Amino acid sequence: MIAFAELLERLVFTPSRNAKIALLRRYFETQPDPDRGIGLAAITGELSFATAKPSLIRDLAHARTDPVLFAWSYDYVGDLAETVALMWPSASNDAGPPSLPEVNSALQTAAKSDLPAIVAGWLDASEPPVRLALLKLITGGLRVGASARLAKIALSEMTGGRIGPDEIEEVWHGLEPPYERLFAWIESRGPKPDPADAPVFRPLMLAHPLEPADLEGLDATAFRAEWKWDGIRVQLVSTRGGRRLYSRGADDISSAFPEIVAAMNFEAVLDGELLVMRDGAVAPFADLQQRLNRKAVSPRMMRDFPAAVRLYDILFDRSEDMRPLPFDARRARLEAWYARVQPARMDLSEMIAFHSLPELAERRANARAAAIEGLILKRADSPYVPGRPKGLWWKWKRDPLTIDAVMMYAQRGHGKRSSYYSDYTFGLWNGDELVPVAKAYSGFTDQELIWLDRWVRNHTVARFGPVREVEKSLVLEIAFDAAQRSTRHKSGVAVRFPRVARIRRDKPAAEADRLEDLLRWVGDERAA
């Protein structure tokens, strides 16, 4: 546990991506099995402890510390695990901290009633860095700036490049912690793990944002165009060993969309966009949000928000790997496959005919219809390769919309931002009242974040737990991609991908935009 705690501490204070990869690699190379496999599972988000909850930590902290001091400290630090790790009173315990496998086993198997005493004993036996690592595991969010992708790159570097991270990705979903077969393969002590017919995820091919400078050099005849729909990218994997629906980040979302999985009565791997569709028309993203991040859905929800997939590409047809083929050949195979299989709840993405980029630009400019984000340009000869190779696929999104809104509330961020108020709620005028319309936590520079954090602290008028209400005097320009009606928001409208575009220190709050200004965009989208 000490080595894992040291890894987490160094990852937090290491900004360099390459340095983080080096730290992960050193940990995987020096730690024994199963410690390193459990550590890998924690880094990649594969550990889940059903009976250990943040409320358990809060109850222990309230019992061992002064509740008022703890509340003030938590507000200042902004992170539950860090606050408890620092405030936990020292106790004499000669047992020493637990091992990582011991922690994992206890959190997986111990009765819920036994956990408070077990966790308290661990904290008593540990120094603050180990306490922090223990508490991060229990609360389920490491937030150390190390993604699953970085961990897989570190594993690849252990082989000297003999095994690439994408090859590791392709066997990943056929493995389970503590990944002893994976480490044996990486260290040439065993064969490559064979997922056989397991429904494993294959890394998706992504598109680069198209900038004006890129547009100038493009040869229109070399590219094909499709609409970019406002849903979520998914991969449909259907094999003899099972069926899975994955998000672009390789999260298994099958349980939230059982009707899609039920329609996958074929043997293929497909790339597409998950949407809510009614009578062939794509619904706003807000409707799809009703279905996301759910472990189960009711028949009524499936009826009210019917899911479908618009297919973009085919990666495998049965056991045949389509990815090395050029896009035009894959598209022909996809169309032939679709005509042969005729899958339910799926259709094909439309290929847009065009003769020049100015013609395509005009179509893009008129594309502000519900659920259309812009265009995707794909080289006709491009193979399907993992990641975001520049020059093969381009995403040409429509220009964002903007509103000038007033900051109403602020909340601390997470990870490296846990000491800053970086999550903001903004409102627009509805009569003489400000109504919240968006939350944003991106778009500003580090220097602007420092300024905003200081402004929040100096203009707080009330506190509600971790949230601060601020003076209604600061205007920010908020960029967003779309606006839809929403019964879940007091304002009656929700915006898509809000981010801070500019701090309007020059503009009085009374001159910020009004709710009807935002509703006008909803009307335009419906009419487009």
Q: Is residue 282 scored above 50 in pLDDT?
A: yes
Where in the sequence of the chain do the CATH 1.10.3260.10 domains occur?
Answer: 2-139
CB 69 within 8 A of CB 77: no
Mean pLDDT throughout 142-162? 90
Q: What is the pTM of this model?
A: 0.78
- Which string of DSSP letters, residue by residue, matches 394-455? EEEEPPPEEEEEEEEEEEE-SGGGTTSEEEEEEEEEETTEEEEEEEE--S--HHHHHHHHHH
Binned at pLDDT 50, 70 and 90, residue 524 comes out as very low
Q: Residue 92: its pLDDT value, please?
A: 67
Q: Which residues pair with 482 in a beta bridge?
A: 496
Helix runs in 299-380, H state only? 299-304, 327-341, 357-365
Q: What are phi and psi of 242, to 5 degrees?
A: 150, 175
Q: Residue 527: its pLDDT value, please?
A: 32
Q: Residue 370: its pLDDT value, please?
A: 53
Mean pLDDT throughout 185-205? 89
Binned at pLDDT 50, 70 and 90, residue 260 comes out as very high
Helix runs in 217-348, H state only? 258-262, 285-289, 299-304, 327-341
Where in the sequence of the chain do the CATH 3.30.470.30 domains occur?
Answer: 208-397
Where in the sequence of the chain do the CATH 2.40.50.140 domains occur?
Answer: 401-527
Tens digits of per-residue pLDDT, 304-319?
999 999 999 999 999 9
- Measured distance CA(277)–CA(471) in Å, rounded: 42
Binned at pLDDT 50, 70 and 90, residue 516 comes out as very high
Binned at pLDDT 50, 70 and 90, residue 368 comes out as low
**The residue to which tokens 């595991």 are assigned:** 137
Mean pLDDT throughout 2-21? 93
Tens digits of per-residue pLDDT, 370-409?
568 899 999 999 999 998 899 999 999 888 889 999 999 9
Domain 208-397, CATH class in plain words: alpha beta
C-alpha distance across the termini of the chain, in Å: 58
Q: Residue 369: its pLDDT value, please?
A: 59
* Homologous superfamily, domain 401-527: Nucleic acid-binding proteins (2.40.50.140)
Closest among 446, 386, 404 to 422, alpha carbons compared: 446
Mean pLDDT throughout 246-254? 92
- Measured distance CA(381)–CA(223) in Å, rounded: 8
* Homologous superfamily, domain 2-139: DNA ligase, ATP-dependent, N-terminal domain (1.10.3260.10)
Q: Is residue 481 scored above 90 in pLDDT?
A: no
